[in-house]
């Protein structure tokens, strides 16, 4: 594992001898613009792991993306190598259908302390709720970013991250009622205490998420990548390009179906992902939207 290899992967060319906020903001944004949030391994007969060496080889050497445990574990290693003071935390993702948070930690994030101030980093939530930059850990403060306004709320024991977004305008009316469209303008993302977690804390849950027939990651194949003006996503056979339009307080959504014979080309052209094993797209009904 080599830090320079990772920095080359994300296109970072500046100095990195000073663990400051500007550098952290830069590598955070470059990561989400370069490395997809994806669960394609599950649909290629492969197994996701918490082994950092395997994750590094997959993301850095093989030009793949990964889901939260892979991307954010790799990012925690990057933070360590660059001299940042950080803590890994576990968070519970919000289930909009049950109007509550899942009972177990299924999402990994990192807190970074710079000049005595804590910041949340999360390079692997994907789609419209992806942070482009770290968030200050200040309760109740609106923190605007291109995807929308993020907000951390603290009740004394637990922090909650929520996002206020713009209305999504679907260009093709055939997709106006797609289950992939998130119609909530303000939505909770996840909650977390400040309890430090080792990667072993997530192993059992992550195994379940990639094997349970009820898991949304088993029911849907997902690949998403942030772009300078929004994000793109391939969920099953449905390819979407979302363009942020804050001037008109809306986001434009362009959706279309991709035939099997073009899936490989779309992954390569739009996400710079080339798979080794046979990929079987999947888009069954599940609690997942953009």
Note the pLDDT tens digit of each residue in 26-60: 999 999 999 999 999 999 999 999 999 999 999 99
CB 136 within 8 A of CB 36: no
pLDDT digits (tens, 9 = 90+) for 219-260: 999 999 999 999 999 999 999 999 999 999 999 999 999 999
CB 77 within 8 A of CB 89: no
Q: What is the pLDDT of residue 254?
A: 98
| pLDDT class of 165 with cuts at 50, 70, 90 | very high
Q: What is the pLDDT of residue 286?
A: 86
Active site residue 68: yes
Q: What is the pLDDT of residue 200?
A: 97
Of the residues 28, 31, 43, 107, only one is catalytic, namely 107
Could you tell me which residue, 97 or 11, shows the higher pLDDT? 11
Q: What is the pLDDT of residue 287?
A: 81
Q: Where are the domains of the chain?
A: 3-271
Q: What is the pLDDT of residue 63?
A: 98
Cα dihedral 101, 220, 71, 98, rounded to 10, equals: 0
Mean pLDDT of 260-286: 97
- Rounded to two decimals, the pTM is 0.97
Cβ-count burial 209-242 (b if 16+ within 10 Å, e if not):
bbeeeebbbbbbbbbbbbeeebbbbbbbbbbbbb
Q: What is the pLDDT of residue 97?
A: 84
Of the residues 43, 68, 69, 129, only one is catalytic, namely 68
- Please tell me the class of the 3-271 domain: alpha beta
pLDDT digits (tens, 9 = 90+) for 107-138: 999 999 999 999 999 999 999 999 999 999 99
Active site residue 122: yes
């Amino acid at each position: 594992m080599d830090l320079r290899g990772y920095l080359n992967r994300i296109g970072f060319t500046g100095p990195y001898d000073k663990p400051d906020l500007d550098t952290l903001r830069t590598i955070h944004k470059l990561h989400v613009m370069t490395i997809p949030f994806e669960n394609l391994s599950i649909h290629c007969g492969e197994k996701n792991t918490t082994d950092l060496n395997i994750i590094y080889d997959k993301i850095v050497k093989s030009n793949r993306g990964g889901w939260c445990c892979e991307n954010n574990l790799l990012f925690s290693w990057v933070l360590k190598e660059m001299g940042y003071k950080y803590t890994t935390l576990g968070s519970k993702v919000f289930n909009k259908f049950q109007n509550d948070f899942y009972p177990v930690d299924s999402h990994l994030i990192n807190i970074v302390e710079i000049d005595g101030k804590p910041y949340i980093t999360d390079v692997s939530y994907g789609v419209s709720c992806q942070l482009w930059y770290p968030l200050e850990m200040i309760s109740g403060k609106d923190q605007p970013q291109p995807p929308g306004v993020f907000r951390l709320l603290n009740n004394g024991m637990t922090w909650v991250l929520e996002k206020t977004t713009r209305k999504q305008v679907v260009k093709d009316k055939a997709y106006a009622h797609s289950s992939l469209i998130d119609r909530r303008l303000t939505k909770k993302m996840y909650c977390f205490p400040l309890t430090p977690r080792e990667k072993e804390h997530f192993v059992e849950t992550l195994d379940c998420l990639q094997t349970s027939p009820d898991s949304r990651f088993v029911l849907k194949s997902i690949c998403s990548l942030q772009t300078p003006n929004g994000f793109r996503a391939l969920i099953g056979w449905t390819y979407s390009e979302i363009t942020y339009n804050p001037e008109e307080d809306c986001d434009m959504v362009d959706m279309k179906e991709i035939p099997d014979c073009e899936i490989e080309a779309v992954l390569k052209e739009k996400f710079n992902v080339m798979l080794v094993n046979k990929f079987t797209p999947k888009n069954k009904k599940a609690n997942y939207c953009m």
